[in-house]
Structure 1
Amino acid sequence: MIDCYYRRIGADGDWKIFDSTDGTRSNWDPEIQHGSPPLALMTQAIEDLAAGSGLRVGRLTLDILGAIPVSRVKVRAWIERPGKRIALMVAEMSAARADGADRAVARVTAWLLATSDTADAATDRYPALTEGDAVPVPHSWIGAKGYLETVMWRRQSETSETANVVWISSQIPLVDSEPTSALQRLAMVVDSSNGAGAALDPEEFMFMNTDTVVHLHRLPEGNDFALRARGSIGSDGIGVTTAELFDRRGFIGTCAQTLLVMRR
């Protein structure tokens, strides 16, 4: 039974050490990790670093630097650009090569900004989404083991040529039984925008994202998130997925991903 994405092992200086569980396994290749759990784990490191600063995350960018193995990983975070009103924080994940040497496999950069009261000027670009009945076959990876076993995926019937709508919720904690913040819960599913907005048949094409960029005009709430997403594919093997992100209260931000497209 998969009961979390990572197990905390200890620390080595600035590095926190975790064992990856089967819940991190990608639907593309079970030997590598889906992008959402690493994004969430590095988001946790950034939130821990920012605690008490009066700053909150406005943008998260995940860059996947290489295949992330389902194995022991290390995570550290640091302040790249300090500031009282604007700061840039970075988290990095490393894993061992075959020869035992560590290599960086993923990195998250986050812009954090000082908060203030702008409630009287707050606006949402889009109205809130309401979840309806899910279609019988929610995605094209039915039966895939690993990450897709850990999320509840409800594709909506009101999809169109311009976007697919999927409500998605993670069913397990990020690390052991530790509390998981709402931002971490969003990170645990947002990399699925590429699958939610798939414009190609995964039986015929692979379309793996190299990055995930999330902009948030407010912090998410709860554990249920809607991804209104669609991929666009170029003629030279490169694509882009864009998505609008919602929680139960309404619109919270956007996501964009670069795709490497290959015919199987």
Structure 2
Amino acid sequence: MSANTPATPSYFERIDDHRYKPTPHVGGAWDTAEQHFSPLGGLIVHAIERERAGRPGTGMVLSRVSFDILGRLATDECEIRVETVRPGRTIELVEATVLIAARPVVRARAWYLTAIDTSAVAGGGAARLTPPEEVASWPMASVWPGGYIASLDVRPLAPPQPGRATAWLSTGTDLVAGETASPTASWIALVDTANGIAVRHSPEEWMFPNVDLTIHLHRLPEGRWTGLDTTVVFGPTGQGLTSTVLHDVAGPVGHAQQILTVRPQPAAG
């Protein structure tokens, strides 16, 4: 590679074993000066996987991960601390805390369950989605600003409707510069986008950011495409819920939920 050839873009650059520097590609949709949570969610899973890789093989797989967003995600360097709070041979619970300027901004909990062969009884999921190569790209940046949205290849199966959309997402942006992230971490790094693909009301008039994200998996995702079959509901007292059936190209892999705080945008002037 010549000195003039740009490196593959990334969402984060590693500083040391626990600290990361975000790049402009994490720029948020509600505030471009903040991080979009989606790549940070993938980074947290990457950090958890690195911590667990330092121990003998556990024979367990990620089955649920939940993220609580505690504060503003400034585009400053972050530290991720990982702790196993419930060790076990067949079930394990891991907790990760993200700190920015020494303050906790995200707490995550990941359940790992033992992996055994249950293919004889597997079934019950949703139908497979139309493959992404058969679907045209959609300029999501026409609805949302920010470096993160600009980094995506978004392919809806049909034009998004208020509160309803099904779309494939992919990106050519690495999670961490110079590192190979697992298919699971890279796939999860796109899931939080679900709240933006099925806009119920214009984000210029209404705010509806999510304060959490919970992902349940009945199998590990594979490949570079994250499929989101999303429904958004607004309640009458300021709460909303984004619910998503999650897919990879082989079929459904689980579900995601995001609770929203719904409120009008401040009046201009």
Letter in structure 2 aligned against 1:239: G
Which stretch shows the higher mean deviation, 50-59 or 67-76?
A: 50-59
In structure 1, the partner of 2:203 is 202
Letter in structure 2 aligned against 1:126: A
Deviation at 1:140, TM superposition (A): 4.9
Gaps of 5+ in 1: 97-101
Deviation at 1:137, TM superposition (A): 4.8
Alignment of 1:83 with 2:84, yes or no, is no
| Matched residue SS, 2:208 | strand
Cα distance change, pair 183–135 in 1 and its aligned pair in 2 (3 A): closer
* 1:131-173 alpha-carbon deviations (Å, 9 max, x no partner): 343375546525x231112111112216567731111012211
In structure 1, the partner of 2:116 is 116
Which stretch shows the higher mean deviation, 238-247 or 147-156?
A: 147-156
Q: Output the CA distance in 2 between the equivalents of 1:21 and 1:111.
A: 29
Q: Output the CA distance in 2 between the equivalents of 1:105 and 1:60.
A: 16
Q: Output the CA distance in 2 between the equivalents of 1:25 and 1:162.
A: 24
Alignment of 1:44 with 2:46, yes or no, is yes
Letter in structure 2 aligned against 1:113: L
Letter in structure 2 aligned against 1:23: H
Q: How many residues align?
A: 254
* Matching of residues 142-221 of structure 1 within 5 Å: 144-157=145-158, 163-221=164-222
Which stretch shows the higher mean deviation, 103-112 or 50-59?
A: 50-59
* Matching of residues 134-145 of structure 1 within 5 Å: 134=136, 137-138=139-140, 140-141=142-143, 144-145=145-146
CA RMSD of aligned residues (A): 1.8
In structure 2, the partner of 1:247 is 248
Letter in structure 2 aligned against 1:86: I
Which stretch shows the higher mean deviation, 152-161 or 115-124?
A: 152-161
Cα distance change, pair 138–155 in 1 and its aligned pair in 2 (3 A): farther
Cα distance change, pair 160–72 in 1 and its aligned pair in 2 (3 A): closer
Alignment of 1:94 with 2:99, yes or no, is yes
Q: Output the CA distance in 1 between the equivalents of 2:190 and 2:167.
A: 11
2:162, 2:199 within 8 Å by CA — same for their partners in 1?
no
Deviation at 1:30, TM superposition (A): 1.2
| Matched residue SS, 1:208 | coil
Alignment of 1:18 with 2:20, yes or no, is yes
Deviation at 1:93, TM superposition (A): 0.7
Alignment of 1:63 with 2:68, yes or no, is yes
Gaps of 5+ in 2: 1-5
Q: Output the CA distance in 1 between the equivalents of 2:99 and 2:22.
A: 12
TM superposition score normalised by structure 2: 0.89
Q: Output the CA distance in 2 between the equivalents of 1:55 and 1:176.
A: 27
Q: Output the CA distance in 2 between the equivalents of 1:243 and 1:34.
A: 18
Q: Output the CA distance in 1 between the equivalents of 2:31 and 2:77.
A: 18
In structure 2, the partner of 1:4 is 10
Which stretch shows the higher mean deviation, 107-116 or 157-166?
A: 157-166
Cα distance change, pair 108–155 in 1 and its aligned pair in 2 (3 A): same
1:205, 1:262 within 8 Å by CA — same for their partners in 2?
yes
Deviation at 1:5, TM superposition (A): 0.8
Cα distance change, pair 161–24 in 1 and its aligned pair in 2 (3 A): closer
| Matched residue SS, 2:97 | strand
Which stretch shows the higher mean deviation, 153-162 or 70-79?
A: 153-162
